[in-house]
A and B are shown apart, each in its own frame.
Chain A
Amino acid sequence: MKLITVAGPPSSGKTSVVLKLIECMNMPEGSIGVVKFDCLTSFDNISYEAAGVPVQMGFSGKICPDHYFVSNVEDAVQWGMRSGFEMLITESAGLCNRCSPYIKGILSICVIDNLSGVNTPRKIGPMLKYADIVVVTKGDIVSQAEREVFAFNIKQVNTAAKILFVNGITGQGTFMLAKYLQQALEVRTLRDMKLRFTTPSSVCSYCTGETTIGEAYQMGMMKKMEFKEI
């Protein structure tokens, strides 16, 4: 089974792109499955089900969504194998710019949109930096110049990535994306494979349910801001 991981900020167009991609690949219905990792809630299952794509949802709740991803991705692969998929696509909503749910050797796609501001690529961090392919959506709404500047800023952060412009509504551009997916690795398990980047060591008191503000309640890994006197 081929495994592809897709990540990107909320509403950047991940679901739209994945759906158009599946349509473009023209494989028998039920041979591509999707696992959606999200934080609190998501309506993506409705879109996938409507398109006849088998989908499994998982919500991280109070855990960092990327920690949650790592602890469940092997189970996702096993579900995919049991279901007899030829291809499994994971969609995760990147919520913290410090994380990236990418695995060494597994084709990784980051989806971002042109509307988020031209400097955004320079701020996204590992999710963009460690992707093999960066898909840029919503190019239909901005000028050619902005698309070019956007691509330039992506290159600054990830010199090696392939940058593809895809329209999540019309599917324009998915054809070339589908071609790249043919190179994706066949897997049966992810056991012993490595993440591309460490997930943050978020083990402070607030991770585990603390809600009160104040020095006395802060424990574990803390990082304090420095305020200069003026």
Chain B
Amino acid sequence: MTTPDFMKTINSQTMAAVIQQYPIAMDFLANYRLNDILKDRPLPKALDQVEDEILEEFGLERDDIVQNFCMFLETFSQTETSLDSVWSITINGGVNKLKEPENISLTISAGEIISIVGPTGSGKSRLLNDIECLAQGDTPTQRQIMVNGAEIDDLQRFEMDGKLVAQLSQNMNFVMDLTAREFLEMHAKSRLTANVDEVVEKCFQCANELAGEKFSEDTKVTQLSGGQSRALMIADTAYMSESPIVLIDEIENAGIDRRQAVLLLAKKEKIILVSTHDPLLALSADKRIVIKNGGIYKIIVTSEAEKRNLAAIEKFDSTLLMLRNSLRTGELITEELLEL
């Protein structure tokens, strides 16, 4: 639908009918304190009954309200975005901190997991930032990021900005005072999801599978444990975030099944980059980028032999988890425990 179509709808249909078709219209009314206007007539007629004073406070004439409403409906009825069609990104090397060329080109496809390893301060976050802002040789690293094999211009960059990348990190928390279910519903609504109940249900189940300890959908998100929060965030990113690229900054020791978590995101055809010191996560990736002195120093493809070691690492990992639990419950750490 185009602007004139929306205008026609607004002028000819009753507010009740418009709200039925676009439930989000209620939000518009609430934003202007117009919740209680008469809904048995079209908006322009209903506005005739509204006191001038309310409109003046918002600095608007009746015509402006109608115009704004039209723009509002137009904005929130566009569900399709060009982002659905990002199937690969390519990192073209720039220079490291010593200005030596990286001489590298790496293409990452949807469904692939790449880990980024390197000492503190080596430039892992810098690489994630370059990807986020779709660097075109204009950041200190001079790297270039291509999308679907093509260079992108500033206009496309502006367009994709903020929507391309979803981020997850250790210090993220929930600040909303909502239950897990309300939280997911709210996110679904903001994504203009059609089948809210179904998506929310899937998301919730998945979060519970990832979380060490289960939680109910009536739990307040602010009361979830660190692991449960992380699990909910990952499930939510997998099922509800529109961003085709997920950047994960250190989610080790999160009390969730971290491997399952990244595999889940990969299954959802996301491009995943994990900056990590965690062998379990690093080896779960298809490739790992080694950063040194601010530059990409090496790219290691995870070999079959390395993957076979995953089982042993998982065993270490669960031993550590068990030791942590023993500590928590006040037990002594004995040699027998270590040998399990």
Contact = CB atoms under 8 A, between A and B. Distances in A.
B175 A146 contact: yes
B75 interface: yes
Interface of B: 27-28, 30-31, 57-59, 68, 71-72, 74-76, 125, 129, 132-133, 139, 154, 157-158, 161-162, 166-169, 171-176, 183-184, 186-187, 190-191, 229, 233, 236-237, 240-243
B59 A144 contact: no
A170 interface: yes
Nearest to A151: B162
B129 A172 contact: yes
Q: Which of A98, A144, A148, A165 has the most CB of B within 10 A?
A: A144
Contact of B175 (A115, A162, A179, A197): A115
Contact of A140 (B71, B171, B186): B171
A122 B34 CA distance: 13
Chain B interface secondary structure, helix, strand, loop or mixed?
helix
A126 B60 CA distance: 11
A42 interface: no
Given A144-B236, A198-B59, A162 B174 contact: no
Interface stretch (A30-38, A83-91, A152-160): A152-160
B174 A118 contact: no
Interface in A127-168: 139-146, 148-149, 151-153, 155-157, 159-160, 162-165
A165 B191 CA distance: 18
A13 B240 CA distance: 28
B261 to A, nearest CB: 14
A127 B114 CA distance: 41
Interface residues of A, number: 39
B278 to A, nearest CB: 20
Contact of A163 (B58, B162, B167): B162
A34 to B, nearest CB: 24
Interface of A: 98, 114-115, 117-118, 122, 125-126, 139-146, 148-149, 151-153, 155-157, 159-160, 162-165, 170, 172-173, 175-176, 179-180, 197-198
Nearest to A125: B58
Contacts of A126: 59
Contacts of B58: 125
A222 to B, nearest CB: 13
A139 B166 CA distance: 11
Contacts of B72: 156, 159
